[in-house]
Structure 1
Amino acid sequence: MTSTPSAGLFKPLEQSDPAVVGGYRLAAVLGTGGMGKVYLSYTPGGRPIAIKVIRAEFSEDPEFRRRFQREVQAAQRVQGLYTAPVIDSDTEGPQPWLATAYVPGPSLAHAVAQHGALPLGSVLLLSVGVAEALHVIHGAGIVHRDLKPANVLLASDGPRVIDFGIARAAESTALTGTGVSVGTPSFMAPEQAAAGTIGPATDIFALGQIAAFAAIGSPAYGEGSSHAVLYRIVHEDPDLSRVPAELLPLVTRCLTRDPDGRPSLTEVIELCHEISPEPLRQGEDWLPRSVAGSITERLQLPEPAKTPPPQPTVAPTPTQYAPQQPAPGPANPYPPAGFPPAAAAPTQTAPGVPGAMPPPPGHPMRPTPPPGHRPPPPAVHGPYAHPQPPKRKRTGLIVAASVVGAIAVLAIIGALLPNDSGKDDASKSPGSSAGANTGGGADGPEEEAASGAKDKPRPDPEPVSYEGIDITQNYAVMLADDPPRPEEGDVQYSGHDLYYYVDTLFSDSWIGSDNGKFILLNNAQEGSLETCRAETRYTEKITLDQISAGSQFCVLSDAGHIAVATYGGEGESGDATYVTFDLTIWRNAEEPVAD
């Protein structure tokens, strides 16, 4: 990896930029957008990543945080060949962020601005790659909503679609306001510009816009003020006079105003193959040489920081750090080279005086710490964090010692008292440690006193059964409701115990849970509370072609409820489909899962 990065591509960090985000040391600034700033960093293993830090204005909006968390969770499920996968995130810290794989390539917007329109073969390979990326994104229940040239990166082996679904988090927040659409005006669909219903077809319109932009070097609906562009998108036809004739069938169909008239992604891919004079195969030569040179420049990355950032001399503001909890498992005792777990104290203590040494002890400019004061160790977060033991107060030790002493005294007194096991059990107080099995191996008073009070197992709740519950497509139920009533909502990734989802674009249907664990039982298993507790073959969703009438599955909600659902089949009501279940629910059967 070279230490001489290309000028202008990797900008140095400014004084206002954080040095560390979520434990990742930042190396350079990659760019700035409407929702945040993007930085270059590296994983402990040395792989480059792009970290987007959300603007503080969005971070302060509770609705944005809720949506952002949901969209990031969905985006982490997208693992396509033409997408930049999300590999890490912190949606709950003082300033949310997410990290994706770094793609060494210019955006389509930058490539066209610097080198002009792309040749036909490159445009077709671009369109096929973006269509395949959208297929994976839509399959995860995400609509991109902001597909534009700046969000399509040109890598050496094909395009990469980034920032999918993130724009949705900004909708209906305090910043955008009611009725204000989120997206880039030149590449919005008519229904998006008119604040109508947004779906997968919205992204197909944007795909047509991208193909036209790549082929002619400018937006199909022209440029100008946002209001003028949006008016043309809603009311006028695009200017396709400069689009190559071979591309017109693809672009024209994608830019149909009626979402139902646009082609499916499968049809887009087929059209591209029909148009191409030779088989479409992604390879190193899919881009013109001038654009491929931009990829080489972006491979000349700046070196990772070899020393930790200086510790702040004042308490950090919420925007300086976004710590995240260490991943489960033992902490790594051997951090990678260049990432030491602790930093030496900075030698500069006087602001604006480079190299100033700290005043000697007793100097009037050096504050005297209180007796017994010990400076805290530097905090380190992220992938190479070492967990710090919790601080214990001296008063807690004294109280604990007193309690242990009192228990020991009670144990001695109990041992000296005569055995009353022959007396009627009714004379013993409820909850007595002797219980009814004083001679059957249960702990007696001595063992109970020595080990402390034992937690009693949660009693099994009585099951409650419901028959013939019909869940319409894109509806969901919660096990806590009595009776469970299907509710319409944004099912998948929205905290529903049991949902039924239909993807009209790809004609896929499935049932699942995004608020717990989901288990399909085999024919030899009996649907019972014990079976659901014992099973570990968890999944998230099951397609309807995997089950038949009579199939059973367990739902273990994060709220602690457990249900056995028996599938009754699928039906139709008007234009919608529905599925029928019989439910047996044990409410509060387990401890709720902590958030």
Structure 2
Amino acid sequence: MSAPSTGLFQPLGPDDPSTVGGYRLTAVLGAGGMGKVYLSYTPGGRPIALKVIRPEFSEDPEFRRRFQQEVKAAQRVQGLYTAPVIDFDTEGTQPWLATAYVPGPSLADAVSQHGRLPLRSVLLLAVGVAEALHVIHGAGIVHRDLKPANVLLAADGPRVIDFGIARAADATSLTGHGVSVGTPAFMAPEQAAAGTVTPHTDIFALGQIVAYAAIGAPAYGEGSSHAVLYRIVHEDPDLSALPAELRPLVTRCLSRDPADRPSLTEVIQMCHDLSPAPLRQGEDWLPQAVAGSITERLQLPEPAKTPPPQPAVAPTPTAVSAQPPTQGANPYVPTGVGVAAAPTQSAPAAPMHAPNAPAAPGPVPPGYQTPPPGYQTPPPGYQTPPPGYQTQPAYQPHPGYQTPPPGYGPGYPTPAPAHHPGYPPAAPKRKRTGLIVAGSVVAALIGIVVIVSLLPKGSDNKAKGSSGSAGGSRAASAGTTSGGSSGKNQKPADPTPASYQGINLTANYQLMLADNPPRPGTGGSAGVSYNHGDLYFYMDTLFGDTKIGTDNGKLVVLNNSEKGSLETCRAETRYTDKIGLDQLTDGSEICVLSDAGHIAVATYRGKSGTNDPSKYITLDLKIWRNAEEPRKH
């Protein structure tokens, strides 16, 4: 998400939405060729940058298709120098994408406001961006639009943003009708001339970024797009102002032939070789002036608060008939407002307005009328209801109906039970008729037992039979009682499953079934097979070992005759913790039981192609969360 180009946090304009995808927008961060970026917050208070795609792109079906593909691919990017994707909606009226908010200026803003960066800062910038590209390329993505505006300068190093999203706009008809995506000054020759894009294209852009940070201006100059693109394709860059130490690195990155450009590993090694001191990212990696702008971006505006619902407005007083009020009602509360318990004695049947009636003591709230002569004083403790007075618990217009808890007056939404224990009310108590009937039955059974015990021994067999019948009756009664009482101990209903389609699980990444939606993540420094992933995809390129496994449960591949369901997974006994990828074909179903009690059916949908730079498998997931009691070890 691009940092703001002018100012830090601009207020929302009349054309800006107040909420997007359930996120309440707080401020405008900036705008670009593909959309507008807003500041928002997660429910837990973490700031995010939310980009809303322009309507022109949203109406293009090919853009939507590609945007959906690129967002799913961007989910696989988990690096120290990238801003992770937090949430998205690719199918709504206006697609949007949310990433973590990075409190730092873009490289474009930093250079335009403070000039070029010192050598150490440039080398650390190059190393960080190279590491980011390594992770992005590893996920099968080419950035395609790497430029100073898409590199943010955080306190602990750079962050590369908007990776791969520009590809979604390439196939639309909008790029030829005044909608510009990408910056010509930072395109590679093959990209500008023929539209060819490969990972080498990002290496060229990396060289451009290093030159821009060290010189303070684009290496191919500025001017019209056509003039800049012509120089990129046909001329050499102007590196006269570039520090001598950086020329070998930048010159190789800006080679016209993609094959002559260095690899990312070579770029990182060259930066270490050029540095007079070991390169270590830290809070002092930027000049003090640039670091000060990071502090400014940490002073975020407060999250936008949801306006409370407006209380019901008391109706305008109108002429009231001379009919007496209903017994027990308070005639001095406006109609439509919640009414408290009536005074002990109801008001006499008198006209609502008495001529020359004395004014009531104290201020009279709007909508309240002066009591008529003869109105009896309310009992002690009774107060005149203020405007918007809410129904009190003593007022029960219907048997068993409980008044909403305080804070919920007319016009307010009904509170959720989770927020107000005890609301809505428990069912009204049943009458004790059942206890009387039950007592009668027990007494009758005791009488039968006593009679049988007094029978002569000669009729012992009959006694036994009767006793057996009585025993059977008791057993049946006990069974009925047990069944009735065991209703409270019945196993809870099966949870409703949640389905997720087309999850790309990158090699050596893992999933947790509790996450909603489940997003691939790394297993940390120890690797996925030594952590607690519910489902992981492991690939050892050295030994050719590829498998799906779990460190937090058990797995089983279902037979073709079996249908993946909650019942099938519960009944299976052939569980293991690892499954070789060679055992799976397109459509194979795998039961996954996590130790946390979640059950899932994972449907295998294939793997990445041989020429794909990223290795991943594609899964559909159907998850029943909390379907079982957690298993203890």
TM-score by length of 1: 0.56
Structure 1 residues 165-244: aligned runs within 5 Å: 165-177=164-176, 182-244=181-243
Counterpart contact for 1:554–1:562, Cα < 8 Å: no
Alignment pair present for 1:552 and 2:583 = yes
The residue that corresponds to 2:395 in the other structure is: none
Trace 1:66-145 onto structure 2 (pairs within 5 A).
66-145=65-144
Partner of 2:54: 55
Are 2:190 and 2:197, in contact at CA under 8 Å, matched by a contact in 1?
yes
Provide the residue aligned with 2:560 in structure 1.
529
Partner letter of residue 116 of structure 2?
Answer: A
Alpha-carbon distance in 2 for matches of 1:561, 1:307: 39
Take 1:362 and 1:231, find their aligned partners in 2: how far apart are those partners? 79
Which of the pair has more CA radius of gyration?
A: 2
Kindly tell me: are residues 181 and 37 of structure 1, through their superposed partners in 2, closer, same or farther at Cα, counting changes over 3 Å? closer
Cα deviation, 1:367-386, whole Å, max 9, x if unaligned, reads: xxxxxxxx99989xxxx99x
Which residue is equivalent to 2:309? 344
The alpha carbon displacement at 1:212 in A equals 0.1
2:537 maps to which residue? none
Pair 1:346–1:553, CA change in 2 (3 A):
same
1:246 corresponds in structure 2 to 245
Match of 2:379 in 1: none
How many angstroms apart in 2 are the aligned matches of 1:265 and 1:508?
Answer: 21
Q: Hey, what's the Cα distance between the residues in 1 that align with 2:576 and 2:197?
A: 35
Cα–Cα, structure 1 residues 149 and 362, in superposed 2: closer, same or farther, change >3 Å?
A: farther
Please report how far the alpha carbon of residue 529 of structure 1 lies from its aligned counterpart in structure 2 after TM superposition.
Answer: 2.4
Q: Secondary structure at the match of 1:218?
A: coil
Distance 2:137 2:304 in 1: 38
SS across alignment from 1:183:
coil
Q: How does 1:421-460 map to 2 (within 5 A)?
A: none
Alpha-carbon separation, structure 1, partners of 2:144 and 2:253: 15
Q: Which has the higher mean CA deviation after the structures are superposed, 181-190 or 262-271? A: 181-190
Contact 1:19 1:25 survives alignment (8 Å): yes
List alignment gaps of at least 5 residues for structure 1. Answer: 309-342, 348-356, 364-374, 386-506, 513-517, 578-589
Quick check: 1:527–1:554 contact (8 Å CA) kept in 2?
A: no
Deviation at 1:140, TM superposition (A): 0.7
Q: Structure 1 residues 262 and 552, CA, compared in 2 at 3 Å: closer, same or farther?
A: same
Task: List 4+ stretches of structure 1 deviating above 3 A.
Answer: 177-182, 357-363, 375-379, 507-512, 518-521, 524-528, 530-539, 560-566, 590-593
Instruction: Name the SS of the counterpart of 2:97 in structure 1.
Output: strand
In structure 2, distance between residues paired with 1:231 and 1:21: 41
Query: What secondary structure does 1:52 align onto?
Result: strand
The structural deviation recorded for 1:178 is 10
User: 1:38 Cα deviation (Å)?
Assistant: 0.5
Letter in 1 for 2:71: V
* Residue 24, structure 1, aligned to residue 23, structure 2: yes
Shift of 1:126: 0.1
Computed over aligned residues only, the root mean square deviation of the Cα atoms, in angstroms, reads: 4.5
Q: Residue 94 of structure 1 aligns to a residue in which SS?
A: coil
Which amino acid in 1 is paired with 2:303? P
Work out whether residues 144 and 201 of structure 2, in 8 Å CA contact, stay in contact via their aligned partners in 1. yes
CA contact (8 A) 2:27 2:38 kept: yes
The one-letter code matched in structure 1 to 2:90 is T
Structure 2 CA distance for partners of 1:564 and 1:81, relative to 1, 3 Å: closer
CA displacement at 1:195 relative to structure 2: 2.5
Please say if residues 53 and 95 of structure 1, whose CA atoms lie closer than 8 Å, have aligned partners that are also in contact.
Answer: yes
Partners of 1:563 and 1:20 lie apart in 2 by: 36
Which ranges in structure 2 are unaligned for 5 or more consecutive residues?
Answer: 320-409, 420-540, 590-600, 613-619, 624-633
Q: Which amino acid aligns with 1:168?
A: R
Matches of 1:198 and 1:362, distance apart in 2: 75
> 1:509 deviation in Å?
12
Residue identity matched to 2:73: A
The residue type paired with residue 61 of structure 2 is: P
Give the deviation of 1:76 after TM superposition.
1.2
Structure 2 Cα separation of the partners of residues 176 and 220 of structure 1: 25
CA contact 2:310–2:412 (8 Å) conserved in 1:
no
Cα drift, residue 174 of structure 1: 2.5
> Partners of 1:257 and 1:199 in 2: how far apart?
13
| Post-superposition offset of 1:215 | 0.2
Distance (Å, rounded) in 2 between the aligned partners of 1:246 and 1:537 = 56
8 Å CA contact retained: 2:185, 2:229: yes
Task: Provide the rounded CA distance (Å) in 2 between the counterparts of 1:32 and 1:280.
Answer: 34
Superposed CA offset, 1:244-275 (max 9, x none) = 11001110000001111111100110010011
User: Is the Cα contact below 8 Å between 2:141 and 2:163 reproduced in 1?
Assistant: yes
Q: Structure 1 378/97 Cα, relative in aligned 2: closer, same or farther at 3 Å? A: farther
Deviations 1:402-453 (A, max 9, x none): xxxxxxxxxxxxxxxxxxxxxxxxxxxxxxxxxxxxxxxxxxxxxxxxxxxx
SS in 2 for 1:232: helix
Residue in 2 that maps onto 1:159: 158
Paired position in structure 1 for 2:322? none
Partner of 2:272: 273
C-alpha offsets along residues 137-160 of structure 1, whole Å, 9 cap, x if unaligned? 111111000000000000000000
1:555 maps to a residue whose letter is D
In the TM superposition, residue 176 of structure 1 has moved relative to its aligned partner by: 1.5
C-alpha distance in 2 between matches for 1:201 and 1:47? 35
Q: Distance in 2 between matches of 1:140 and 1:174?
A: 28
1:561 and 1:177, CA in 2 relative to 1: closer, same or farther beyond 3 A?
Answer: farther
Q: 1:20 deviation in Å? A: 0.7
TM-score of the superposed pair, with normalisation by structure 2: 0.53
Partner of 2:346: none
Aligned partners of 1:519 and 1:553 also within 8 Å: no
Following superposition, the deviation at residue 554 of structure 1 comes to 3.9
Q: How much has 1:557 moved relative to structure 2?
A: 6.9
Mapped partners of 1:99, 1:212: distance in 2:
30
Matches within 5 A, 1:306-455: 306-308=305-307, 343-345=308-310, 360=316
Contact 2:310/2:411, CA 8 A, preserved across alignment:
no
SS in 2 for 1:93: coil
C-alpha spacing 1:564/1:298, structure 2 compared with 1 (3 Å):
closer
State the structure with bigger RCO (CA 8 A, min sep 6), 1 or 2: 1
What is the alpha-carbon distance in structure 2 between the residues aligned to residue 89 and residue 242 of structure 1?
Answer: 42
Residue by residue over 1:306-350, the C-alpha shift from the partner in whole angstroms, topping out at 9 and shown as x without a partner, is 333xxxxxxxxxxxxxxxxxxxxxxxxxxxxxxxxxx41499xxx
Q: Cα offset for 1:124?
A: 0.2
Residues 122/536 of structure 1: CA separation in 2 closer, same or farther (3 Å cut): farther
Deviation at 1:98, TM superposition (A): 0.8
What secondary structure, in the 3-state scheme, does the structure 2 residue paired with 1:166 have? coil
Once the two structures are TM-superposed, the CA of residue 15 in structure 1 deviates from its matched residue by 1.2
Change (3 A) 1:199 1:210: same
In 2 relative to 1, CA 23–537 (structure 1 residues): closer, same or farther, beyond 3 Å?
farther
Q: Give identity over the alignment, percent.
A: 71
Shift of 1:510: 9.4
The alignment partner of 1:175 has SS state of helix
Question: Counterparts of 2:222 and 2:605 in 1: how far apart (Å)?
Answer: 57
CA spacing shift, 1:182–1:56, aligned 2, 3 Å: closer
Q: Secondary structure of the residue that 2:113 maps to in structure 1? A: helix
1:536-593 deviation per Cα after TM superposition (whole angstroms, max 9, x unaligned): 9999xx9xxx97xxx43343279x9988999xxx99xxxx89xxxxxxxxxxxx9999
**For 2:316 and 2:253, how far apart are their aligned partners in 1?**
73
Within 2, Cα distance between the matches of 1:100 and 1:152?
A: 14
Equivalent residues, number: 379
Shift of 1:305: 1.6
In structure 2, C-alpha distance between the alignment counterparts of 1:537 and 1:255, rounded to whole Å: 52
Partner SS for 1:269: helix
| 1: CA distance, partners of 2:106 / 2:413 | 39
